Amino acid sequence: MSATERIRIFGMAMLSPFGLLRSRAFRLLQYAALAVGLTTMPVMTVPDLTGEPHFLISVALWCCLGIFACEFLGKAWLRSDSSKSETHYLLSVEGAIDLLAVLPVPVALALGIQPATAWLLASLWILKLAIFVPGLGMLGRVIQQEARALASGFIIFLIILVLSSVALHVLERARQPDHFGSMPLALWWAVTTLTSTGYGDAVPATLGGRIIASIVMISGLGVFGLWTGILATGFAAEHRRRDFIRNWDLVTSVPFLRNLDPPAVIELTRMLRRIDLAENAVVVRRGRPGDCMYFIASGEVEVKIEPQPVRLGAGAFFGEMSLLAGAPRTATVTTTEATTLLMLEVSDFRAFTAHHPELAKTVEAEARRRAKHGAPKTHPLARELADDSE
């Protein structure tokens, strides 16, 4: 293996998302550079800043720029083994943002622009938040999916804008030529009034103008309320889709749930709620009401029963005995490592098992086995199931 190839492999390990320690450390370095850069950049515009403070701020800004430059060059070089992937990165939104974080300031300084002005281009670094924050990607998908509805609201906005500006120009131009004497002035009034941000700078003097202004203000509230509703509905739908896909993958990872027919899996996926827990987290406590059961998608839990605690891994479930009997919890359950659980509430369990008795049979069979081999005999369902098994 050549030295160049070794360096490439090391670099990929440094920037790979699978290198958790390196990836997190590098991301923290990016956050620090972004915070320092955006904090010190405005200070460069202070006229009286000279001497050592000016030098230290310049060094900090150049260090931040160097970090972003290394990031851009590293990403481009690591993908240079495939011209297609390199081109894809350079033409992507991520590549464009990384490039905007590197080039503008040096180019401005090279053209002779004053440093205090040139470093204002460092404000483009804030665009990197679009890469760091995954929620912005969801916003882009929502806008794309709801583009027609949003465009319809924009058309309504334009109709009100044009008609109201024409009406106010005709009604008010004689009395207030400074505010409504031309269509551009009337359009500006319509924009500020429709958005409810500038009404009061110019107030219609005629009765008709005031009636139209009232309609414009109310219409503005309606239009922006419409846009807000469209985006809120889109976000809710996108969250449901994302949670459904994530829960589907988790449901199909549980062995006996995997054997259900597809319609049943879809129905169950919509009922389950995902819970991510850290190590040593208490899932249920003994004596608490049993209002749900849990399926282990990944990780491990420990059921603290006598004479010896029992550990359950991925694919197992617990909490079914209290759920079936409607009695309090008979054991405390804690996680032994980072664990992902799927919670099924009692009302959903009863509704689902009424239509899919095979799941109820599986749960009852497991409850009978546990009652015979390890469940506390004080549990009323455990005594009943144990007697039946004998």
pLDDT of residue 273 exceeding 70, the answer is: yes
Say which CATH topology domain 257-389 has: Jelly Rolls (2.60.120)
Half-sphere exposure of 80 (CA within 13 A, CB side): 12
Question: What is the pLDDT of the chain when averaged over all its residues?
Answer: 78
Fold matches, 3-132 and 147-238: no
Query: What pLDDT is recorded for position 389?
Result: 40
pLDDT of residue 10 exceeding 90, the answer is: no
Backbone angles phi, psi at 198, to 5 degrees: -130, 10
For residues 96 and 33, the answer to whether their CB atoms sit within 8 Å is no
pLDDT of residue 390 exceeding 60, the answer is: no
Query: What pLDDT is recorded for position 179?
Result: 85
Query: What pLDDT is recorded for position 375?
Result: 46
For residues 329 and 290, the answer to whether their CB atoms sit within 8 Å is yes
Query: What pLDDT is recorded for position 16?
Result: 47
Which among 303, 295, 289 has a CA at the least distance from the CA of 339? 295
Residue with the two structure tokens 């029992």: 310
Q: Which is higher by pLDDT, 327 or 298?
A: 298
Q: Which is higher by pLDDT, 17 or 344?
A: 344
Query: What pLDDT is recorded for position 166?
Result: 93
- Mean pLDDT on 75-99: 68
Q: Which is higher by pLDDT, 216 or 328?
A: 216
User: What is the C-alpha separation between 378 and 381, in angstroms, rounded?
Assistant: 9
Half-sphere exposure of 223 (CA within 13 A, CB side): 22
For residues 162 and 219, the answer to whether their CB atoms sit within 8 Å is no
pLDDT of residue 347 exceeding 70, the answer is: yes
pLDDT of residue 23 exceeding 70, the answer is: no
* pTM of the complete model: 0.56
Q: Alpha-carbon Rg of the chain, whole angstroms?
A: 32
pLDDT of residue 286 exceeding 80, the answer is: yes
| pLDDT tens digits, one per residue of 54-68 | 888 888 889 998 888
Query: What pLDDT is recorded for position 378?
Result: 37
For domain 3-132, say whether CATH 1.10.287.470 is its number: no
| pLDDT tens digits, one per residue of 126-160 | 888 877 776 677 777 888 888 888 899 899 999 99
Query: What pLDDT is recorded for position 384?
Result: 38
Query: What pLDDT is recorded for position 257?
Result: 66
C-alpha angle 119-121-122 in degrees, rounded to nearest 5: 70
| pLDDT tens digits, one per residue of 237-259 | 887 787 777 777 777 766 666 66
Q: Which is higher by pLDDT, 325 or 339?
A: 339
pLDDT of residue 361 exceeding 80, the answer is: no
Query: What pLDDT is recorded for position 198?
Result: 67
User: What is the C-alpha separation between 174 and 181, in angstroms, rounded?
Assistant: 7
pLDDT of residue 307 exceeding 60, the answer is: yes
* Domain coordinates in residue numbering, the chain: 3-132, 147-238, 257-389
Which among 346, 351, 341 has a CA at the least distance from the CA of 324? 346
pLDDT of residue 1 exceeding 90, the answer is: no
Question: How sure is the predictor about 14, in pLDDT bands with cuts at 50, 70 and 90?
Answer: very low
Question: Residue by residue, what is the 3-state secondary structure of the chain?
Answer: CCHHHHHHHHHHHHHCCCCHHHHHHHHHHHHHHHHHHHHHCHHHHCCCCCHHHHHHHHHHHHHHHHHHHHHHHHHHHHCCCCHHHHHHHHCCHHHHHHHHCCCHHHHHHHCCCCHHHHHHHHHHHHHHHHHHCHHHHHHHHHHHHCHHHHHHHHHHHHHHHHHHHHHHHHHHCCCCHHHHCCHHHHHHHHHHHHCCCCCCCCCCCCHHHHHHHHHHHHHHHHHHHHHHHHHHHHHHHHHHHHHHHHHHHHHCCCHHHHCCCHHHHHHHHHHCEEEEECCCCEEECCCCECCEEEEEEECEEEEECCCCCEEEECCCEECHHHHHHCCECCCEEEECCCEEEEEEEHHHHHHHHHHCHHHHHHHHHHHHHHHHHCCCCCCHHHHHHHHHHC
Q: Right CATH number for 147-238 from 3.40.50.1820, 3.20.10.10, 1.10.287.70, 3.90.950.20?
A: 1.10.287.70
- Mean pLDDT on 210-228: 90
Other CB atoms within a 10 A radius of the CB of residue 164 amount to 24
Query: What pLDDT is recorded for position 344?
Result: 83
pLDDT of residue 85 exceeding 70, the answer is: no
pLDDT of residue 365 exceeding 80, the answer is: no
Query: What pLDDT is recorded for position 370?
Result: 62
Burial tier of 245 (Cβ tally within 10 Å: 0-12, 13-18, 19+)? exposed
